Amino acid sequence: MTISDELLEQARAILYTPVISDTLDSMGLLSQALPPAVRPLDENLVLCGRARTGLYMPVYHDDAALNVYEHEIALVDDLRPGDVAVFSCAGNQRIAPWGELLSTAARARGALGCVTDGLVRDVRMIREMGFSVFAGGIGPLDTKGRAKMMLADVAAEIGGAVIAPGDIIFGDVDGVVAIPAGIAEGVLNTAMKKVTGENAVRDELAGGAKLKDVFDKYGIL
């Protein structure tokens, strides 16, 4: 099911990762949060869009026959408005598959950001752009001679969270969650209703109500 841009914009304005994670938990989906090491370059930005996935494997050589950039370039050139590049590096900390030039190209195509468990480089310039990037670390290491994207737009895994093309990626200061595309509309709508409940809980707690009484009333903590 294709999620409308309007719903994604609404979710971006209202939601936050803990309430989405709680909603997924309530559905028995306990492995949708990416590892805590995947952090935003700018904690003030919120990312919500459709996943475009790429799978990397390590390499330990470089020669004329090895083009480490071919699939990476093809994926970035094919990004569309509302897309989020999701680069799965299997925790490889030897590479920074994302940087300022890819950010520039992606933004020009209407893409919203990138999520990777690899490193990111050109951090100062990306922050100045205001482009949303979540990464497993910061470092200057190019992929050349170190890794290659082998497949694009296939299921990928980051820290136990399996992400398929078209899944909804939501990231903010608390982390990143992946919402399976087939249930994303229901998850987002349920999470927005939950936000209303959390607002009521917050108001009662601020007014001095006991936590147990509020929890017994709303079932929200």
- Compute the radius of gyration of the chain from its Cα atoms: 19
Please say whether the beta carbons of 178 and 163 come within 8 A. yes
User: What are the beta bridge partners of residue 136?
Assistant: none
Q: How far apart are CA 84 and CA 75, in angstroms?
A: 11
Please say whether the beta carbons of 53 and 155 come within 8 A. yes
Whether the pLDDT of residue 207 is over 90: the answer is no
Whether the pLDDT of residue 113 is over 80: the answer is yes
Query: Considering the domain 5-10+31-178, what is its CATH architecture?
Result: 3-Layer(bba) Sandwich (3.50)
Give the Å distances, CA to CA, from 101 to 60, 62, 120, 161, 219.
24, 22, 11, 27, 47
pTM of the prediction? 0.91
Q: Where are the domains of the chain?
A: 5-10+31-178
pLDDT at 1: 64
Q: What is the mean pLDDT of residues 211-217?
A: 79
Q: 55-96: per-residue pLDDT in tens?
A: 999 999 998 889 999 999 999 999 999 999 999 999 899 999
Q: 138-149: per-residue pLDDT in tens?
A: 999 999 999 999
